[in-house]
Structure 1
Amino acid sequence: MLPYFDPDYEYFNQRINPPRVCIDNSTCSDCTLVKVDSMNKNGILLEVVQVLSDLDLAISKAYITSDGGWFMDVFHVVNKQGQKVTDEKTIQHIEKALGPDSNLLLGGEKEGSSSPGRSVGMHSIGDHNAIELKGSDRTGLLSEVFAVLAELGCNVLAAEAWTHRTRVACVVYVNDAASGQAIDDESKLSRIEQRLQHVLRGHTGVGDDDDGCRPVAHTNFSAGSNTHVDRRLHQLMHADVDADLDGAVSGAAASSGGEDEEDRPEISVEHCEEKDYSVVNVKCRDRSKLLFDIVFTLTDMEYVVSHASVSSDGTYGMQELFIRRKDGCTLEKDEAESLIKCLEAAISRRVTEGFTLELCGRDRVGFVSDVTRVLREHGLTVTRAGVTTVGEQAINVFYVRDASGQPVDMKTIEGLRVQIGQTVMLNVRSVPSSAAAAVAAKAPGQRRQTASGAGALSKVSFFSIGNLLAKLRA
C-alpha cells in the first residue's frame, strides 16, 4: 500500500516563500525597475515577461537568473511615452499579477494569464466562441472571412490576425447575432467551419492533406479558453510555417516587404563548456515585445532559460540567454539550427511597415466585414489586424500595404476616407521603414525614446486589445 501524500504539500514551500515584487522608481533617473523574486518553476520567466508586455511596457535592460530553486529578475522598463511607470493602477496591477496574491506559482499556467484581456477567454466581451484560422494569405482574405461570418449571423466581438511568409493566422471571437450568446448549435458550427475552410483554401481548392504537404487551411473552434492570444498566434504560425525550415530565410524576406539583409536578426547558438549551457546570442532591431517573442519561442520549444542579460543601445537590442533542454542537456547541432530559424521567424512577425488605419464607429453586425471589404476594393493588403468591441463602439486597427507590397499611396488613403464616410472615425499613421527608423533613432531628441527599449519600430505601436480593455475596466 502506497503511503498517503497530501496534494497541498507540493505547494507548501511556495506558500511559505511567496513571490515578491518591488517597483523601484528611485534608483534610476530614466526608467522604473521591476524586481521579481520567487520560487522557480518551468515557464515562470515567460509569465513575468507576458505581464509586462501586456501593459505595453518597454524593457530596455533585464538581468535574469533562475538556477536551482529560486528565480530572481530585474527589468528596466518605461511606458509607451518613454517615461517611468508612475501610474498607480499600473503599479498595482503589476504587484497583483506578480506578487504574493498572484497565481504565478500556484497553478498559474493551468489557469491562464493574469494579464488583462489577452486570453482567448476574454471575460470582458461576454459569452462567445473562439475560432482559430490559419492558411495561405492573399489580398482580401480577411474580408472574405468576416463576410462569411456576417452572412451566417455571427457577430465579431474581437479578433487578432498576423501574416508572415505568405501565411496568415487569426483568432476570432464571435457570438450569435440574434441571441448575443455563444453559438451552441452543432449544425451551425459545422456550417461555419465548412464555409471558412472553403475561404481559406481559396481558388486553388487544395485540401488539408493533399500531396502529403503541410496543411494550407485550418479552422478550429478553440476548446482552451485560457490561451494567451499572442502565444496562440505564435503557436499557429510556428506549427504551420517555422517547422518548414527549407527556404525560411528567403520566405521571410519576401513577405516582410523587402527586408534588407542588414535588418535580419543576427542569432547564434554556442556551447559554454565551463557551465555546460547552450548560449543563445541575439542582435536585431529593437522593438516592443521583443523579449516576449524570444522567451515564448524558447519556452514553447521546451528550453529552460537559466540566466540572461538583455540590453539596448537605442537602435539594436542585444540578448544573451543561457539555456538547457528540460532534461538538463545542452542543444545538439541540428537543434541549434532549428532554434535559430524559429527565433528569426518569431522576431520578424511583429515587424510591419506601411500605414496603420485606426477606425472607430458604432458597433453593428457586419461592421468589420464592411470595413475590410472597402480595404479590399482599394487593393490594400492587411498584414496585421486588431479588432475589439467596447460597449457600443467597434475599434479596428489594421496595418496595410498595397497588393504589390509597397507603401500605400496617399490618394488611396483619401479615397478610403471618403468611402468609409462620416460615421466612422479614421486615423491614419505611417509606420517608418527600417532605414528611416534607424536614422530617426540616432537623431537628436529621439535617443531617449528609442533607448527606452521600444526601439525604432515602436514609435507607432501596435494596437493592444488588452491595454484598452484594462483601461476601460479600471
Structure 2
Amino acid sequence: MEASVSYSSTMDDEYEKFIKRMNPPRVVVDNESCKNATVIQVDSANKHGILLEVVQVLTDLNLMITKAYICSDGGWFMDVFNVTDQHGNKITDEGVLDYIQKSLGPDSCFASSMRRSVGVVPAMDHTSIELIGSDRPGLLSEVSAVLTNLKCNVVNAEVWTHNTRAAAVMRVTDEETRAAITDPQRLALINRLLCNVLKGSNKYREPKTVVSHGLTHTDRRLHQMMFADRDYERSVDDSLDEKERPNVNVVNWQDKDYSVVTIRCKDRPKLLFDIICTLTDMQYVVFHGNVDAEGPQAYQEYCIRHVDGSPVKSDAERERVIHCLEAAIVRRVSEGLKLELCTTDRVGLLSDVTRIFRENSLTVTRAEVATKEGKAFNTFYVRDSSGYPVDAKIIDSIRQTIGQTILSVKGSPEESNQSQQESPTRFLFGGLFKSRSFVNFGLVRSYS
C-alpha cells in the first residue's frame, strides 16, 4: 500500500511538472497603463491554490493590492493586480520587480503550503514551535519565560488572539549555539512544558504542541490553526463599531451553478490574502473575482465552488462560510495600545518585556517579533487585563520600570480609545535595554 501511495504522489508531481513545461507561467509587469498603480498580470495553467500562492508572493513584499480581476474558469488561470507600495506609489524598485518575475514566472516553483499539523519543527537554522490554546492575561509572558528557562532564544514569532483563543508560531534557537534544536528529548520537554502552560479551563479544546515536519507560511499557518480550532463559532467581536464590522454575504447563482460571495469591510493590508487563504483552506475554488480597494472601504466579489464542483448546498454551509470569512477578516484586527520595540537582541528579551506588561496589568492581544543582524524589532498590541482603556499611569509605571527611556503619549487615553485609525507614531522600547531609543505610543485598532 505504501509503495502505491508513493508511486501515485510521484506521478502527480511529474504530471504537474509536465503541464508546467508545456504551459509555463507568464508574468507581465506594466508601469505605464495605470497612472497610480503598477499592473501585474499572471497567466498560468490552473491548479487548486495557485491564486493564494500568487497573492502570498505580493503580500509578503508588503505591496498594497488596490484592484484585482480573477479568472480561472477551465484549465487556465489569469489574474490582474493593481499594486502600490505602502506609500501609494508605483513599484519601481528593480529588485522587487525582478523578484516578482522569478517568483511567479516560468522559473518559479510554487511551494505547497497545505500542511495542517501543529508542533515543533526543526529547520535549517531554527526550530519552529506552533501553539494554540485558551487565551488569558500573561500567556505570552509565561510561554516566553518557559522558553528562556529552557535555554531557547526567540528569533521571531507571531501571536494572534481571537474569540478567547490564542495561536502562535515561534522560531527559536539554542541559547549557546544559536542553531536549531534537534535533540528529540529536548523537543519533547519543550512540548510538554508549553502544553502545561497552555492548559486552560476549556476541557473541550485542549492545547496543541505536537511534533510535526516541514515548514509553512506563518500567516497562513495561523489562519489554519485558528480555523481548525473553530474560533469562528462565536459571533464577530461585539466591541467592533458597526461601521467596522465586516459585511459578508453568500448567495447561489443558479444559472451558472456558482455561489457568489460578496465582502464589504474596512480595507487594510493583507485583507485579500486573509480571505483567499480561508477560502482555499476551506476547499473552495475561486473561478471569478473582482476586488476594489482604492478607497477606505474594500469590496470583494467571488464566484466559488467547492473542490467537488458543487456550489454551497445548504443554509448551514452558507452560515459556516460567512462566519469563517468574518473570523478571517477580524483575526488580524488588534485592539489596544500599539507598542514597538527596537533594541539590541539578547536571550530572554521577549520574556522580560512581556513580564513587565503582565506586572502592569497589560495583556498582549497580538505580537510580531523579529530579529535581524543582532537587533530586535518587536510590535505588541496590548490592553488592560480588566478590559478598561489603558491608563496613562500604567505607561508612567512602565517608564519607571524600564529606566532611561523617553515616553510620549499621543492624545488622551479617552481620545485614543475612540480612535479607529492606525497611529503613525512608534514605540521604541529601548531604555530598558540600555539603548538610547525614543519611545512613543499610539492607541489603535490595528488594520495592518
TM class by smaller structure = 0.7 to 0.9
Residues 355 and 429 in structure 1, CA contact (< 8 A), matched pair in contact too: no
Distance 2:180 2:387 in 1: 37
Give runs of aligned pairs for residues 222-301 of structure 1, distance below 5 A.
222-225=212-215, 227-242=216-231, 245=233, 248-249=234-235, 252-254=236-238, 258-301=239-282
**Equivalent residue for 1:34, pick from 17, 37, 40:** 40
CA displacement, residues 299-357 of structure 1 (integer Å, 9 cap, x when unaligned): 00100000000113522111110001112111112211111110010001111233211
Distance 1:260 1:458 in 2: 13
Distance 1:304 1:346 in 2: 17
**Equivalent residue for 1:48, pick from 29, 50, 54:** 54
CA displacement, residues 124-143 of structure 1 (integer Å, 9 cap, x when unaligned): xx622111111111111100
**Equivalent residue for 2:356, pick from 374, 383, 386:** 374
What residue is the counterpart of 2:311 in the other structure? 330
SS in 1 for 2:53: helix
SS in 2 for 1:218: coil
Identity among equivalent positions (%) equals: 52
Distance 1:428 1:435 in 2: 15
Normalised to the residue count of structure 1, the TM-score between the two structures is 0.80
What residue is the counterpart of 1:363 in the other structure? 345
Cα distance 1:414–1:92, how it changes in 2: closer, same or farther (>3 A)? farther
SS in 2 for 1:109: coil
Distance 2:417 2:302 in 1: 26
Distance 1:292 1:401 in 2: 27
Distance 2:395 2:445 in 1: 21
Residues 63 and 83 in structure 2, CA contact (< 8 A), matched pair in contact too: yes
**Equivalent residue for 1:65, pick from 71, 74, 78:** 71
Give runs of aligned pairs for residues 130-279 of structure 1, distance below 5 A.
130-202=128-200, 204=201, 210=203, 213-215=204-206, 217-225=207-215, 227-242=216-231, 245=233, 248-249=234-235, 252-254=236-238, 258-279=239-260
SS in 2 for 1:178: coil
Distance 1:80 1:414 in 2: 33
CA displacement, residues 40-79 of structure 1 (integer Å, 9 cap, x when unaligned): 1110000011111111111111110001111111111111
What residue is the counterpart of 1:453 in the other structure? none
- Unpaired runs of at least 5, structure 1: 113-119, 441-456, 463-474
Distance 1:371 1:68 in 2: 52
Residues 357 and 427 in structure 1, CA contact (< 8 A), matched pair in contact too: no
SS in 1 for 2:230: helix
Cα distance 1:9–1:378, how it changes in 2: closer, same or farther (>3 A)? closer
**Equivalent residue for 1:397, pick from 376, 379, 383:** 379
- Greater RCO, 1 or 2 (C-alpha within 8 Å, sep 6+): 1
Residues 242 and 341 in structure 1, CA contact (< 8 A), matched pair in contact too: no
- Unpaired runs of at least 5, structure 2: 1-10, 424-442
Shift of 1:360: 1.6
What residue is the counterpart of 2:25 in the other structure? 19
Distance 2:228 2:388 in 1: 28
CA displacement, residues 269-314 of structure 1 (integer Å, 9 cap, x when unaligned): 1111221111111111111111111101110010000000011352
Distance 1:281 1:344 in 2: 12
**Equivalent residue for 2:302, pick from 321, 329, 340:** 321
**Structure 1 vs Structure 2 CA RMSD:** 3.0
Residues 332 and 447 in structure 2, CA contact (< 8 A), matched pair in contact too: no
Residues 140 and 376 in structure 1, CA contact (< 8 A), matched pair in contact too: yes
Q: Does 1:95 align with 2:101?
A: yes
What residue is the counterpart of 2:334 in the other structure? 352
Q: Partner amino acid for 1:290?
A: L
CA displacement, residues 137-160 of structure 1 (integer Å, 9 cap, x when unaligned): 111110010001101111111111
CA displacement, residues 402-451 of structure 1 (integer Å, 9 cap, x when unaligned): 113344233322432342234x89898899979744799xxxxxxxxxxx
**Number of positions where the alignment pairs a residue of Structure 1 with one of Structure 2:** 412
SS in 1 for 2:387: coil
Cα distance 1:408–1:291, how it changes in 2: closer, same or farther (>3 A)? same
Shift of 1:187: 2.4
CA displacement, residues 20-52 of structure 1 (integer Å, 9 cap, x when unaligned): 111211111111111111111110000011111
Q: Partner amino acid for 1:370?
A: D
Q: Partner amino acid for 1:262?
A: K
SS in 1 for 2:347: coil
Residues 356 and 429 in structure 1, CA contact (< 8 A), matched pair in contact too: no
Cα distance 1:183–1:10, how it changes in 2: closer, same or farther (>3 A)? closer
Residues 37 and 70 in structure 1, CA contact (< 8 A), matched pair in contact too: yes
Cα distance 1:174–1:167, how it changes in 2: closer, same or farther (>3 A)? same
Distance 1:434 1:75 in 2: 35
**Equivalent residue for 2:125, pick from 106, 124, 127:** 127
SS in 1 for 2:229: helix
Cα distance 1:330–1:429, how it changes in 2: closer, same or farther (>3 A)? farther
SS in 1 for 2:397: helix
Q: Partner amino acid for 2:277?
A: F
CA displacement, residues 343-384 of structure 1 (integer Å, 9 cap, x when unaligned): 010001111233211112222211110011111111111111
Cα distance 1:310–1:7, how it changes in 2: closer, same or farther (>3 A)? closer
Cα distance 1:265–1:9, how it changes in 2: closer, same or farther (>3 A)? closer
What residue is the counterpart of 1:341 in the other structure? 323
